[in-house]
Homo-oligomer: A and B are copies of this chain.
Amino acid sequence: MRQSQLFPKTIKQSPKDAVVANHKLLVRAGFIDQLMAGSWTLLPLGWRVIEKINQIIREEMNAIGGQEMLMPLMHPKDIWDQTKRWDVADEVMFKVKGKYATEGRDYGLAFTHEEIIMDLARKNNLSYRDLPIGLYHFSTKFRNETRTQGGLLRGREFLMKDLYSLHANEKDLMDFYEICKQAYLKIFERAGVEAIVVEASGGVFTTNHTHEFQVVCEAGEDTIYYDPKTKTGFNKEICDGLQKDLMEVRAVEVGNIFPFGTYYSEKMGVNFTDEDGKQKPVYFGSYGIGQTRLMGVIVETHNDEKGIIWPESVAPYKYHLIGLNGKGGDVYRKLLGQGVEVLFDDRDISAGEKFADADLMGIPYRLVVSEKTGDKIEIKKRGEDKTELINFDRLASS
């Protein structure tokens, strides 16, 4: 990509209402734009980060048997009535009036999909031979949030990956639940953040504990109680019952997993035919990751006074090639030819402005080609000071 053509340009000033780093830096660097409170356009650079995060999640979900699909965002009231969540969800669910609909004249906008996946499952007359089933999708979620500060950390419209699993018995559910917990830790590690598994109570759904994945971060709205020795955490409710020496820290929840058991299937009549020919309720789990929030947390935990420092796994490009005095075109074309992801600053502006933009945007490796570098390339890792002059061949093989 040639930076002269990239939309939009970077911005010198942070938005007036921006308090936290991800809000300030992602807006200034041209990754996101605020349409209204809690609602963001993912601009070309930001969308590339989300696609990298999505691909990491996709690989790990497929590895544990997940099948990707896509469920609708507008849901009929009657399905939500079956679990009584239409009324319970009144605080967070956006509601829509239909005009021509002959069924479900009221609609809710998706803030989660448990009811929808269970409705789909029960239409399919499941047998024990069909289980387990793991289905997931990447999609938009809507939540009518009171507060919308925090940049990508809290939105009224945001992106989420949700996986749902169906099983024949509790042991199969809990085995898969543990497998998914490990897959989640792998996803967060690959995305460059250290997520702590935090135990929380299952509330009305289950006597099992549920788990949150929390990243310690000052901008976080959650408080967790953390044991650095075992690297586990507890929420307030659970912590109060423990005789342990725990650190109280601020954190952001980037994922959560719920072993619902038969709570939903009993309410909605989602059964399967077991080996003995009997109808039994399916065991059900739900597993979510907020990709846009994760992107925000990555920035909160990877920045300095100059800008963002993307982990290579989720960076929009690997190389930021700075051409000075009209140089760099040859290197750009050679890198493109090798399928390397490179942003080429071909603009007719000063070296200082280009370097400042490169630091702000946070692409992992800055390459400089100028009259001074001759037939070599200056390479510098973002976040480090050391520069090095290398041959193109060494770059291509790295």
Contacts and interface: CB of A to CB of B under 8 A. Distances in A.
Contacts of A260: none
Chain A residues touching B, majority SS: mixed
Contacts of A39: 72, 74
A73 interface: yes
Given A72-B41, A75-B35, A67 B7 contact: yes
Interface string A1-44: 00011111100000000000000000000000101110111111
A123 interface: yes
Contacts of A116: 35, 41
Nearest to A113: B41
A6 B94 contact: no
A157 B100 CA distance: 14
A119 interface: yes
B70 A33 contact: no
A71 interface: yes
A97 interface: yes
Given A42-B70, A69-B47, A74-B142, A135 B7 contact: yes
Given A35-B119, A124-B8, A135-B44, A140 B101 contact: no
Contact of A67 (B4, B44, B72): B44
Interface string A121-138: 001100001100101010
B100 A146 contact: yes
Given A119-B35, A142-B74, A69 B41 contact: yes
17 contacts: A5-B67, A6-B67, A35-B72, A35-B75, A35-B116, A37-B101, A41-B71, A44-B67, A46-B69, A47-B69, A47-B137, A73-B157, A74-B94, A74-B157, A94-B107, A95-B96, A100-B146
